[in-house]
Chain A
Amino acid sequence: MRRLPLALTAVGVVLMALVGCGVLPNGDPGGAAPAPSASPGLSGEIMVFAAASLTGTFTTLGETFEAANPGASITFSFGPSSGLATQITEGAPADVFASASQKNMDAVVDAGGADEPTVFAQNAMEIAVPADNPAHITALTDLARPAVKVALCQPDVPCGAVAASVFANAGITVSPITLEADAKATLTKVRLGEVDAGVVYVTDVLAAGDDVVGVAIPADVNAGTRYPIATLSASRSPELARSFVAYVMSAEGTSVLSAAGFLAP
């Protein structure tokens, strides 16, 4: 038949398109190895897996760490902590894991992937609304109004679980119209004005600048999450990995984190 090769070509096109959809950790260590530096600084390459809510701060910390240690190269993979934990236990080549919840760090520790995680920061929740606040949200209870379109993180990721406990503390029921994969995705829906409100971390609202406005959640019902960090047992550069963890916990690291809205542990 004349038609068959055409169908096969089209199948090929489909396969090529599907290959393009893969979800890969971002970043590539790059081709050339870093030149040995004359200074006594550290050298080598490490891959840091960090919660999506740490994207801004850890990128900054990575740059300053690399500037202080010209021989060192740090690559980040940011994503939902639960997904990162799964990738690590499935053998992803990570050296450091910074999680947005104790639960996901425990999963890695239980699988023998890390020892002695340390809490380095805490984060509380805040309501994010578009800059013009179309639904006139002024308090947490407004989210329970039926006409208000609310985006939440899905319940399996830390920001979704913490938002659920905030609602439980306040004794309200919120019906979201979408459950997003992580805090950044939830914030994006607010930024674009597709929803009236989202519940994300204080740090996310701060990082979004003028696009969104934060509506505070009263401290007596607010909940938060603790961020543990650990060097992973499978690390091939454990010394460099430990130095980066120490740098995150240092006075310099703490000041970058608190400037972004994180609370001290």
Chain B
Amino acid sequence: MARPAQKAPPTRPPGQRGARTRSIADVTGRTPWPLAAPAAVAVAFLLLPLVGLLLRAPWRGLPRILVESGALDALRLSLVTASAATVISVFFGVPLAWVLARARFPGRSLLRALVTLPLVLPPVVGGVALLFALGRRGFIGQHLDQWFGITLPFTTAGVIVAETFVAMPFLIVTVEGALRSADLGLDEAAATLGARPFTTFRRVTLPLIGPSLIAGAVLCWARALGEFGATITFAGNLPGVTQTMPLAVYQALERDPDAAVALSLVLLVVSIAVLALLRERWLHPGTSL
């Protein structure tokens, strides 16, 4: 079974082998201050808002607030929809990433730019665009409505559609990058030994890019979990049906800032827990595969 770890790529720095790693700073002595100072500012900038959240948190009333504000419904909905969006993104996004990285056809760069557009598009604009396409009056949605009686807006399925639209490009970009930097020689070797293209993809390429696929899926899931703009625009806001955690936080802010802080904390804890768990399991060198 071909594994990248057994190839010992020449780019690996000396002294870094297996699970035993040393940072650059260890090797060269210390971090130079022109890097250390801005890095410290960046850390402070990214963490201070979270400190503000923790300082304002209504710790004593937390359980009561969470029960009263319907946070559990919103949390369940968020976890279900973000996970569904991730599964859909992997199913359709990995093949697209392969096409973008490996297939040769005119207009490939243009296609790549178009399908990753949601990365830079304001999510609210994405939501409006989804309405124009899949809404009750949209050019596809009106037929869904007339022929099948399906209307996506204001349904849980609509939430998943909005989250997938915004989050899938994160997976595509990550997996495509991995495919482009992966060693083509192994694929060629498999083909030489008689493997059919799809077998090569399944048995050689996929295991090769496994860690990146997981990283992309985690990013995709995190983005879907935090999705706000496209969801509230396309799927609306109704507790238990389309009100995910970010929407619940926004609504709570109108009425009771304490409840908004409490909901935010739950989202923060869940995100950290899941990211840490996946990182521990999949992304650490030596523990993956």
Residues of A within 8 A of B (CB): 1-4, 6-7, 9-11, 13-15, 17-18, 20-21, 80, 82-83, 86, 149, 151, 154, 156-157, 176-181, 189, 192-195
Contacts and interface: CB of A to CB of B under 8 A. Distances in A.
A2 B9 contact: yes
A13 B119 contact: yes
A143 B255 CA distance: 26
Given A6-B174, A194-B131, A14 B212 contact: no
Contact of B170 (A10, A83, A154, A194): A10
A6 B254 contact: no
Q: Which of A14, A86, A149 has the most CB of B within 10 A?
A: A14
A208 to B, nearest CB: 16
Contacts, number: 103
A2 B212 CA distance: 10
B136 A179 contact: no
A178 B136 CA distance: 15
Contacts of A176: 238
A3 B215 contact: yes
Contact of B212 (A6, A151, A177): A6
Nearest to A2: B9
A10 B242 contact: no
Q: Which of B120, B174, B285 has the most CB of A within 10 A?
A: B174
Interface of B: 4, 9, 11, 46, 119-120, 122-123, 131, 135-137, 153-154, 170, 173-174, 177-178, 181, 211-212, 215-216, 219, 222-223, 226, 228-229, 232, 236-239, 242, 250-251, 253-255, 257, 283, 285
Contacts of A86: 253-254, 257
14 contacts: A4-B283, A6-B181, A7-B212, A18-B226, A20-B122, A21-B229, A82-B255, A149-B154, A178-B237, A180-B237, A192-B135, A194-B131, A194-B153, A194-B154
Nearest to B122: A20
B68 to A, nearest CB: 14
A3 B229 contact: no
Nearest to A160: B254
Main secondary structure of the interface of A (DSSP, over half): mixed
B136 A194 contact: yes
B119 to A, nearest CB: 6
B136 A193 contact: yes
A197 to B, nearest CB: 13
B232 A181 contact: yes
B173 A10 contact: yes
A189 B211 CA distance: 42
A1 B211 contact: yes
B251 A2 contact: no
Nearest to A3: B211
B118 to A, nearest CB: 9
A20 B118 CA distance: 12
A18 B226 CA distance: 9
A19 B241 CA distance: 27
A108 to B, nearest CB: 14
Nearest to A196: B136
Contacts of A194: 131, 135-137, 153-154
A151 B215 CA distance: 39
Contacts of B119: 13, 17
B254 A14 contact: no
Contact of B178 (A6, A17, A151): A6
Nearest to B211: A3
A3 B178 contact: yes
B154 A156 contact: no
Given A178-B236, A180-B236, A10 B174 contact: yes
Contact of B242 (A13, A21, A178): A178
B254 A156 contact: yes
A242 B122 CA distance: 37
Nearest to B208: A3
Nearest to B227: A21
Contact of B254 (A9, A18, A83): A83
Contacts of A17: 119-120, 223
Contacts of B226: 18
Nearest to B131: A192
A82 B136 CA distance: 31
A83 B253 contact: yes
B216 A10 contact: yes
B237 A154 contact: yes
A184 to B, nearest CB: 12
B136 A10 contact: no
Q: Which of B119, B123, B154, B232 has the most CB of A within 10 A?
A: B154
B225 to A, nearest CB: 11
A157 B251 CA distance: 9
A9 B178 CA distance: 12
Contacts of B211: 1, 3, 7
Contacts of B228: 21
Given A6-B212, A192-B131, 12 more contacts: A6-B178, A7-B174, A10-B173, A13-B119, A14-B219, A17-B119, A177-B154, A178-B236, A179-B236, A181-B232, A189-B236, A194-B131
